[in-house]
Amino acid sequence: MEIPGDQTYHSEDMGGPQKRAIALMSGGLDSALAAAWTKRLGFEVVGLNLATGFCTGQGRCDAVLAQGLALGIPVRLLEVSAEYLEVVKHPKYGRGQGMNPCLDCRIFMLQKAKEVMEEEGASFVVTGEVLGQRPMSQHREALELVAQESGLGERLVRPLSGRLLGPTFPERMGWVKREDWLDIQGRSRQRQLALARELGIPQFTPPGGGCCLLLERAYSKRLRDLIREKGVDALTKDDFALLRYGRHFRLGPKVRVVVGRDETENAALLSFPGDHHVLEFPDVPGPVALVLGEPSAEELREAAELAARYSDAPKDTPVRVLVRRNEDIREIQVIPWDKDDPRLARLRIDR
């Protein structure tokens, strides 16, 4: 039988059976369970976490490392954000409800895992995918597609649903029996939660909780808007990074305003690289705002009035705004827009 992706990994080529697996670990429950279950079956497991730049949880790397520590699984962290941008820009298999290119994303991650598998002298790759759990990427055809397209074929193992899926390389080698895999399917997490308690898996992000910026409605709206302005090929790493922060408004075809929502975002906007106007409020607590593009004097004033709405400046009272672009610093006074001003809703990109 021809096994896709099997040309280079015959066990005899590796000097004997390699009972080592690479487990893709996201910091979530399912991937930790899959890694732990594989280890329980007697395999040596190396965890792999890929930093794509689109992860929402700052603590997810910590969660992966904590899981690895608790399970006795060493974890490799791999930075792949530059390559991943191409996946986001040009997905071959389309997007979900947001800008999430889930099938292409899975294929990319598994290709990376395959490279690590080769480096580590491992025999197969393990994921926490569950048959029927996610509509776009975890139905049977999608699972088969990513196995083929990643080049892993039978070397891609989903232990949580393995009994319900096709035969795997470890089975063919006689290392495990079909019944050793689990038969979890669907969206309920009850069995996974029970198994997590049994296997002592700590600190996973809440089941069903978001983990990916590309799934988020607001982020997706900002990204769609920016693609309309610049075209997808022109988007840079910084363009994507800036979409993470603040409230976004469009003042003109080439002019955007980003207004920080809290101190963390204000600090991020202040240090954001690039040739843009920065607005600050020296006399009252208020946001930092960036004006992107080449605004006219009128648009710059409008941006300052808009940003002032989110400051503590009293209603109908002029407030001082520092306007900085590189070394050039000016000062203007504006009356803040009222919080119910209809222009706010009309200009907002991400509502």
SS (H, E, C) 101-128: CHHHHHHHHHHHHHHHHHHHCCCEEECC
Q: Among 28, 101, 151, 287, indicate the residue that binds ligand SF4 (CB under 6 A).
A: 101
Least spacing, CB of residue 172 vs ligand SF4, in Å: 28
Q: Which stretch binds ligand SF4 (CB under 6 A): 6-14, 16-24, 97-105, 174-182?
A: 97-105
Q: Which stretch binds ligand SF4 (CB under 6 A): 11-19, 176-184, 208-216, 232-240?
A: 208-216
Nearer to ligand SF4, 101 or 153 (CB): 101
Instruction: Check: CB of residue 217 under 8 Å from CB of residue 349.
Output: no
Angstrom distance (rounded) from CA 346 to CA 351: 9
- What DSSP element (H or E) covers 157? strand 156-157
29 contributes a contact to ligand SF4 by CB under 6 A: no
Q: Where are the alpha helices (DSSP H) in 214-317?
A: 217-230, 237-242, 263-270, 297-308
Q: Which stretch binds ligand SF4 (CB under 6 A): 95-103, 148-156, 299-307, 324-332?
A: 95-103
- 72 in helix, strand or coil? coil
259 contributes a contact to ligand SF4 by CB under 6 A: no
Q: Is 94 left (phi over 0), alpha (psi -120 to 50) or beta?
A: left
Least spacing, CB of residue 101 vs ligand SF4, in Å: 6
Q: Among 60, 106, 276, 277, indicate the residue that binds ligand SF4 (CB under 6 A).
A: 106
Instruction: Check: CB of residue 116 under 8 Å from CB of residue 76.
Output: yes
Least spacing, CB of residue 31 vs ligand SF4, in Å: 11
* Site size for ligand SF4 (CB under 6 A): 9
User: In the structure encoding, which two tokens stand for residue 277, read together?
Assistant: 């106007």
Residues in contact with ligand SF4 by CB under 6 A are 100-102, 105-106, 137, 212, 214-215
